[in-house]
Amino acid sequence: MQKNQRILLYLLILIAGASWIILSANTTSATGETSAPQAGFAAPDFTLKTTDGEEYTLSELKGSAVLVNLWATWCPPCRAEMPAIEKMYQEYKDKGFVVLAINMTYQDDPTNVVPFIQEYGLTFPILLEETSDVASAYQLRSLPSSYFINRAGIIQEVVIGGPMSEALLRTRIEQILK
């Protein structure tokens, strides 16, 4: 292969690679035009019910700072962080902070949810995810997974795994309340 042919081949490979990167990149901004389960993007919307049948829709909570926490009763880190989440909820709820704790009911025993709520004295909404639609929208990979969403509905921080400490929760909550 001659030198000119190699240069042409390298240029074609470079152009093809750059084209692929540009075409496959998500160029939508964080203005809410698209949803992605990552910081800087609009939080994927959902509507779920509590154990009492009360319905919550995330998009209806715009104006509030929201913690979406995906969890299960069998998950040790989920159990460990619930008291801290409850404490922070009590401390910040009057400032516009909302917790939506979504039990992954499709991979949990639904009969364990109400006893879990009672055992931990949880007062924030516990929503039941029975279809895996929310888990898919949030690209759930590990429990617990927490999404700190600001008043505009934009995810500010994602915390995968746990348990989250009170200090971490306090810092993130104060950021989304701004």
Express each pLDDT in 28-84 by its tens digit: 444 444 566 889 999 999 999 999 999 999 999 999 999 999 999 999 999 999 999
Express each pLDDT in 75-119 by its tens digit: 999 999 999 999 999 999 999 999 999 999 999 999 999 999 999
| Contact partners, residue 151, CB within 8 Å, separation at least 6 | 62, 63, 64, 65, 96, 176, 177
- The three-state secondary structure class of 162 is coil
Distance (Å, rounded) from C-alpha 155 to C-alpha 35? Answer: 10
Do the beta carbons of residue 81 and residue 122 sit within 8 Å? no
Alpha helices (runs of H) in 50-165, residue ranges in sequence order: 76-92, 113-120, 133-137
Q: Which H/E stretch holds residue 160?
A: strand 155-160
Residue from 142, 109, 104 nearest 126 by CA: 104
What DSSP state is assigned to residue 65? Answer: E
The domain 28-177 is placed in CATH, from the list 3.30.70.270, 3.40.30.10, 3.40.50.150, 3.30.750.24, at 3.40.30.10
For the chain, the domains span 28-177
